[in-house]
Amino acid sequence: MSRRDQIKMDEAEVLAFLDEERIMTCATLGPRGFPHLMPLWYVVRDGRLWAWTFAKSQKTRNLERDPRATLQVEAGRDQYHLLRGVMLETDVTVHRDVETVTALGLEIFGRYGDDPGGELADDVRAMVQQQAAKRVGLEFVERNRATWDHRKLGNVY
């Protein structure tokens, strides 16, 4: 078995990792042909990553021009033997329906709020509802995946 095969994560490990981590880096193709990298909060729905962003943002404009993105979620950057991550090549569906975007925003703030999974405060709920008209939902449809978990090597290189 190759080292590459030894550090691969299986589906359950990927889902647990994505549930544990909080920030993904989203790379789209910018207007001058360079990668445009931005951090995003996300949720996982039925194994698929979703995020929201402003409709007028550069990443939205990039995705309107070319609906592909590469995502990376990583952890353990301080020590090589703890390094782990997921990289996904995706097609992106941009959702503009305000109800869909509102529900997504509420789900995201439910995950990242002071009481994850708990009831959102009225002011947070109102803020999400107000912002939803200016935002879009991003659904990332996986085409290809790479994963790594160097902890599986047990400090043996």
pLDDT per residue over 73-105, tens digit each?
999 878 888 899 999 999 999 999 999 999 999
Mean pLDDT of 48-67: 97
> Does 118 or 52 have the greater pLDDT score?
52
Q: Is residue 153 within 8 Å of 123, Cβ to Cβ?
A: no
Q: Is residue 24 within 8 Å of 71, Cβ to Cβ?
A: yes
Q: Is residue 71 within 8 Å of 27, Cβ to Cβ?
A: yes
Predicted local distance difference test score (pLDDT) of residue 122: 87
The 3-state DSSP composition of the chain as helix, strand, coil percent (nearest 5) reads 35, 40, 25
Q: In the 8-state DSSP scheme, what is residue 78?
A: T
Q: Does residue 118 carry a pLDDT above 70?
A: no
Q: Report how far residue 139's alpha carbon sits from residue 70's, in angstroms, rounded to the nearest whole number.
A: 12
Q: Report how far residue 79's alpha carbon sits from residue 96's, in angstroms, rounded to the nearest whole number.
A: 41
pLDDT > 70 in the chain, percent: 96
pLDDT tens for 12-38 read: 999 999 999 999 999 999 999 999 999
3-state secondary structure of 107: helix
DSSP string, 7-65: H---HHHHHHHHHH--EEEEEEE-TTSSEEEEEEE-EEETTEEEEEEETTSHHHHHHHH
> Does 114 or 40 have the greater pLDDT score?
40
Task: Fold for 3-152, please state it.
Answer: Pnp Oxidase; Chain A (2.30.110)
Q: Report how far residue 145's alpha carbon sits from residue 86's, in angstroms, rounded to the nearest whole number.
A: 7
Q: Report how far residue 51's alpha carbon sits from residue 5's, in angstroms, rounded to the nearest whole number.
A: 30
User: For the chain, what are the domain ranges?
Assistant: 3-152
